[in-house]
Chains A and B, each alone.
Chain A
Amino acid sequence: MSLWLLFGLCIFYLLFLFGVAYYAERKSLGGNSLINNPLIYALSLTTYCTAWTFYGSVGKAAMTGIGFLPTYLGPIILAGFWYILFRYVIRICKIQRITSIADFIASRYGSSTTIGVLVSVVSILSIIPYISLQLKAISQSFDILYNNINDSDALIQTNTGLMTAILMSIFIIIFGTRNIDASERQEGMVFAIAFEAVFKLIAFLAIGIYVTFFVYDGFTDIFRQANDALILERLTSVSTSSVGGYWDWFMLINLSFFAFMLLPRQFYLIGVQNTDEEHSSSAAWLFSLYLLTINIFIIPIALGGLIAFQGQNVNADTFVLMMPISDGNYVLSLIVFFGGFAAATGMIIASAYAISMMLTNNLLLPFTLRFVTDDHRYNIPKMILKLRRISIIFIMFFAYIFLVLVGSEYPLVEIGLISFVGIVQLAPSFFGAILWKRGNKKGVITGLALGTLVWIFTLVLPTLIRANLIFDIDILSEGALGMGILRPYALFGYMGMSNIVHGMFWSLLFNLGAYIVVSIYTNPTIQELEKASEFSAIGNNLVGDRIALNQNINAVPFVQIKQLLERFFGKEEAEKLIHKYQADYQVIFKPHHKVTPSFIDYTENLLTGVVGSATSRILVSKIVKRITLEDGDIIKAVSETHDIISQSKQLEAKSKRLEVTTAQLQHANERLKELDEMKDNFIASISHELRTPLTSIRAFAEMLSNKNYDLEHRKDEFLNIIVKESSRLSHLINDILYFEKLVQSQDDLLLTHIDLNDLVDEVVISLLPQAEEAEVSFEIIRVPEHRSSIFVDADKLKQVFINLINNAIKFNDPTKPEKHIKITLARLSDNFEITVLDNGIGIPASELEIIYKEFYQIESDKENKPYGSGLGLAISKKIIELHNGTIAVRSSLSQWTEFVICLPQ
């Protein structure tokens, strides 16, 4: 097969691709979109499977076994989130007319030019090597095919890489840069990419089936042979697939999880080229199925190649191509070659286009437009298109330069992964944009800058050093500046991770750390807040329809906006766009009408589609003065906040009061329960007390009235008992009635001046019989005569003394030889103090508090109930309180008890 025939076939394939794209464009102009379905959407996203998958995965599988898999596991896990993540990204891209990941991130953080530049630089730095990787795959496979088929002794090094670079540039320029509005769908390009996705799958399945079922006898046969050849052993374990074992495995899954939608081409196809957000749902499982299908044969081909080329010096990256060639199956090898070609060109088209957009919008335009917008000699639309074309050529050129300088030294997989780590630097700012409202511009800039520096130091620099382009190779082993902790592959001296995971870990650590810390400690600008809330409004409203966003914008005459649009879209197109808005919103603008804020948004978004968000904002800002928060607004906002805070404080206070009331109620409730229980006890005890005298009265009365008994001689005795019991009964009833009366008629006191000494004497004399019976002696210390007059209700106070002294007699201690009661009367400056001290049985400390309670009777007396109702002390306390006095008690168990009454005068 001649060189020219092979070249001819390549040209034919590319022409065919042009034809496919052209066909789709024609169809879409006729109103029939070929890409408007989930299958094409899913297929376009498989540009994720590049030549790296096609050739490199087999190479990686041959070296590390299952180690190639994490690159696909990440996206598979992510696929579960497509319906929400993609929907969000798609809406933001559509509403804000965003055309690249740089625009997306810059837009969220206040349309920041700096962030736009940073993200673009990181993306371009990461993706150019990735594109050269594809060029390398193409030229390598071309050379292998040509040299092996022709079996030429002298290996011919062709320059397929350069040829491809040129042809790809032409393709992208033709199908990607015809329309000034980049947010418009590029039907031809997307359809061509989807076509290539099908082609590469078929080609890979063809070689997979060929190796598995024709060269070998099915899956089990390959594995059995590999096992016999002792190849399988070292390829079956996760732990040995990488230096860092399971940790590397985990990190690599995360790497692909995050990188999947951050790769500029993926973002572009996911967000910008989507035709219907509902496609993301069905595409999720279709895409997963595609990945599984293409992955099934990777290990069989790798093992098959290892068995077939055992002992030969064959690069594992080329197994896919070498298997059919070595069997002389040239047709199949051609199919495989074009499968790889499709995988590579699909990626090149999408990537080069996506990053050329960033190069134009974020790096070239902001600086160019500064000089030309006011100069009417320039035709801006034409100039922008020209810049885009130059960017594409520039990118392809540098990809080729990189291939020549570095690319030939490295296996496919390593360069691909270095690019991934570069791209994953966008993860904190991107996912922060979606999930964390607090994240701000300063945080992103610091994080991204630090992460990128660490990435360059740990992965890019060593690559260049190993390609002998810069510095001395000693830096790798001795560290930068001769410092051991600054070794690019072993930062801070740790070597337990693979180079890729090592670089990923440290760069992301610095990146994410700086992003979070700086975001927390600095404040966002008003612009950022505005954008952040627009983004989160879209995020919060994913279920419903899109919502209109309004901004505070000063009135601007329509004519100025119109001129701006005309400069960028041309008169005709601008007219159409304005007409569309007027139709949608049912408004008509006259030249000097003030436009609505939503029309300014519309304009800004239209311009974002052309020049990117940062530049668009600058352009609109030139004619629209945005209302910034005035002092008054801030005060208003502060006072509103203050109101809310004070309201919440009031609420808090109320709830506290409620708590107190609840506690009080609870307390009252407990008290009620206690009283209720006491009443029950009282009724039980009082009915017993009432029944006891009644029973004896009745019994003795019956006996007396019974004629059968001769009781004449005991008649007096019985009658005495009856009288005593009756008086006890009436005494009890009196007590109850008296207490009731006291409780009900609080201030019904009959106050008179009487002599305290006389009052006490009277009481003591009346109680002498009981005292003598109990062998208790009295000692009374009186007040001096001239000071003994007291102004009280005499009867009531007498009752108190009776109760207290009676108790003192009742609760004497029979074990003591001398029982006495000491009553002390004293007149202090303006009150009387009356003390009743006995040496009786005392009151337990635990009961001192409750002795005044109604119906309380001392526990120890239960068995032998004393003569009383349990009301004595309650009545006494009530009376003293009615006199505004106090009554207190002190006691020592089985030694003494002292009651102290204090009566003011």
Chain B
Amino acid sequence: MKFSTLQFMRRLQKTILLAVLMLFIMNFPFVAILDMGNLAFDIPVLYLFFYLLWALLIVVYFYIYKNNRA
């Protein structure tokens, strides 16, 4: 995979943004909003949130990395 410096920098910006976003929504106070013991379909909302976020992240990584394959 050869890509230009510009593409590289763009990707770096995207990744940093993503990581900051993740750190933000995986922590206080965002997590505290979901952290009230509520259940959805009998499953705690907090569990659903983390696992769905995780799955979403895999899809995002898949696309970020795929799009940069020349």
Chain A residues with CB under 8 Å of chain B are 66, 69, 73, 76-77, 79-81, 83-84, 219-220, 223-224, 227, 232-233, 236-239, 245-247, 249-250, 253, 278, 281-282, 284-285, 288-289, 292, 295-296, 299, 542-543
Chain B contacts of A253 at CB under 8 A? 23, 26-27
> Closest chain A residue to B9 by CB distance?
A543
Chain B residues with CB under 8 Å of chain A are 1, 3-5, 8, 11-12, 15, 18-19, 22-23, 26-29, 31-32, 35, 37, 39, 41-44, 46-47, 50-51, 54-55, 57-58, 61-62, 64-65, 68-69
Pair B54/A285 contact, Cβ less than 8 Å: no
Chain A contacts of B50 at CB under 8 A? 66, 69, 73
With the chains together, A250 CA to B30 CA distance in Å? 12
Chain B contacts of A77 at CB under 8 A? 19, 22-23, 26
Max chain A CB contacts within 10 Å: which of B1, B31, B61? B61
Pair A237/B1 contact, Cβ less than 8 Å: no
* Given A66-B46, A220-B43, CB of A288 within 8 Å of CB of B57: yes
Chain A contacts of B44 at CB under 8 A? 223, 232, 236
* Given A239-B32, A246-B31, A289-B58, CB of A81 within 8 Å of CB of B1: no
> Closest chain A residue to B62 by CB distance?
A285
Pair A246/B19 contact, Cβ less than 8 Å: no
Q: What is the distance, in angstroms, from A66's C-beta to the closest C-beta of chain B?
A: 6
Q: Which of B23, B43, B61 contacts A288 (CB 8 A)?
A: B61
Chain B contacts of A249 at CB under 8 A? 27-28, 31
Q: Which of B18, B27, B39 contacts A227 (CB 8 A)?
A: B39
With the chains together, A73 CA to B31 CA distance in Å? 14
* Given A69-B50, A237-B46, A288-B57, CB of A281 within 8 Å of CB of B68: yes
Q: What is the distance, in angstroms, from A281's C-beta to the closest C-beta of chain B?
A: 4
Q: What is the distance, in angstroms, from B35's C-beta to the closest C-beta of chain A?
A: 5
Main secondary structure of the interface of A (DSSP, over half): helix
Q: Which of B18, B42, B51 contacts A292 (CB 8 A)?
A: B51
Pair B15/A80 contact, Cβ less than 8 Å: yes
* Given A83-B11, A227-B39, A246-B32, CB of A73 within 8 Å of CB of B26: yes
Pair A284/B41 contact, Cβ less than 8 Å: no
Pair A292/B22 contact, Cβ less than 8 Å: no
Known: A220-B42, A223-B39, A238-B32. 12 other contacts (CB 8 A): A73-B26, A77-B26, A83-B11, A220-B41, A236-B47, A239-B32, A239-B35, A253-B23, A253-B26, A281-B65, A285-B62, A543-B3
Chain B contacts of A299 at CB under 8 A? 47
With the chains together, A83 CA to B64 CA distance in Å? 11
* Given A236-B44, A237-B46, A249-B31, CB of A284 within 8 Å of CB of B39: no
Pair B58/A246 contact, Cβ less than 8 Å: no
With the chains together, A69 CA to B68 CA distance in Å? 30
With the chains together, A232 CA to B43 CA distance in Å? 10
Pair A83/B37 contact, Cβ less than 8 Å: no
With the chains together, A707 CA to B51 CA distance in Å? 114
Pair B65/A285 contact, Cβ less than 8 Å: yes
Q: What is the distance, in angstroms, from B64's C-beta to the closest C-beta of chain A?
A: 8
A-B contact count (CB 8 A): 101
With the chains together, A296 CA to B28 CA distance in Å? 23
Q: Which of B3, B47, B62, B68 contacts A66 (CB 8 A)?
A: B47
Chain A contacts of B26 at CB under 8 A? 73, 77, 253
With the chains together, A338 CA to B45 CA distance in Å? 34
Q: What is the distance, in angstroms, from A294's C-beta to the closest C-beta of chain B?
A: 12
With the chains together, A617 CA to B61 CA distance in Å? 40
> Closest chain A residue to B29 by CB distance?
A246
* Given A219-B43, A543-B3, A543-B8, CB of A246 within 8 Å of CB of B27: yes
Q: List 8 A-B contacts (CB under 8 A).
A: A66-B46, A84-B12, A233-B37, A246-B27, A253-B26, A288-B57, A288-B58, A543-B3
Pair A83/B65 contact, Cβ less than 8 Å: yes
Chain B contacts of A79 at CB under 8 A? 61
With the chains together, A285 CA to B55 CA distance in Å? 10
Q: What is the distance, in angstroms, from B12's C-beta to the closest C-beta of chain A?
A: 6
Chain B contacts of A237 at CB under 8 A? 35, 37, 46
Chain A contacts of B12 at CB under 8 A? 84
Chain B contacts of A247 at CB under 8 A? 28
With the chains together, A69 CA to B54 CA distance in Å? 11
Chain A contacts of B18 at CB under 8 A? 80
Pair A80/B28 contact, Cβ less than 8 Å: no
> Closest chain B residue to A80 by CB distance?
B15
With the chains together, A542 CA to B2 CA distance in Å? 11
With the chains together, A491 CA to B64 CA distance in Å? 44
With the chains together, A588 CA to B35 CA distance in Å? 70
Nearest 7 Cβ contacts at the A-B interface: A246-B28, A285-B61, A236-B44, A220-B42, A80-B15, A281-B65, A285-B62
With the chains together, A278 CA to B70 CA distance in Å? 12
Chain B contacts of A84 at CB under 8 A? 8, 12, 15
* Given A236-B37, A237-B46, A249-B27, CB of A80 within 8 Å of CB of B19: yes
Q: Which of A66, A246, A284, A292 contacts B54 (CB 8 A)?
A: A292
Chain B contacts of A278 at CB under 8 A? 1
Pair A238/B55 contact, Cβ less than 8 Å: no
With the chains together, A553 CA to B12 CA distance in Å? 37
With the chains together, A885 CA to B69 CA distance in Å? 84
Pair A284/B35 contact, Cβ less than 8 Å: no
Chain B contacts of A83 at CB under 8 A? 11, 15, 65, 68
Chain A contacts of B57 at CB under 8 A? 76, 288
Chain B contacts of A246 at CB under 8 A? 27-29, 31-32
> Closest chain A residue to B11 by CB distance?
A83
> Closest chain A residue to B36 by CB distance?
A237
Q: What is the distance, in angstroms, from B51's C-beta to the closest C-beta of chain A?
A: 7
With the chains together, A296 CA to B47 CA distance in Å? 10
Chain A contacts of B11 at CB under 8 A? 83
Chain B contacts of A80 at CB under 8 A? 15, 18-19, 22, 61, 64
With the chains together, A223 CA to B46 CA distance in Å? 13
Chain A contacts of B8 at CB under 8 A? 84, 542-543
Q: What is the distance, in angstroms, from B46's C-beta to the closest C-beta of chain A?
A: 6
Q: What is the distance, in angstroms, from A82's C-beta to the closest C-beta of chain B?
A: 9
Pair A281/B27 contact, Cβ less than 8 Å: no
With the chains together, A247 CA to B31 CA distance in Å? 12
Chain A contacts of B15 at CB under 8 A? 80-81, 83-84
Pair B65/A284 contact, Cβ less than 8 Å: yes
With the chains together, A66 CA to B1 CA distance in Å? 39
Pair B42/A284 contact, Cβ less than 8 Å: no
With the chains together, A73 CA to B26 CA distance in Å? 9
With the chains together, A77 CA to B20 CA distance in Å? 9
Q: What is the distance, in angstroms, from A639's C-beta to the closest C-beta of chain B?
A: 34
Chain B contacts of A250 at CB under 8 A? 27-28
> Closest chain A residue to B23 by CB distance?
A77
With the chains together, A288 CA to B61 CA distance in Å? 9
* Given A281-B1, A288-B54, A292-B54, CB of A236 within 8 Å of CB of B46: yes
With the chains together, A366 CA to B33 CA distance in Å? 56
With the chains together, A803 CA to B62 CA distance in Å? 92
> Closest chain A residue to B31 by CB distance?
A238
Chain B contacts of A73 at CB under 8 A? 26, 50
Max chain A CB contacts within 10 Å: which of B3, B28, B35? B35
Chain B contacts of A245 at CB under 8 A? 28
With the chains together, A83 CA to B37 CA distance in Å? 38
> Closest chain A residue to B2 by CB distance?
A543
Chain A contacts of B51 at CB under 8 A? 292, 295-296
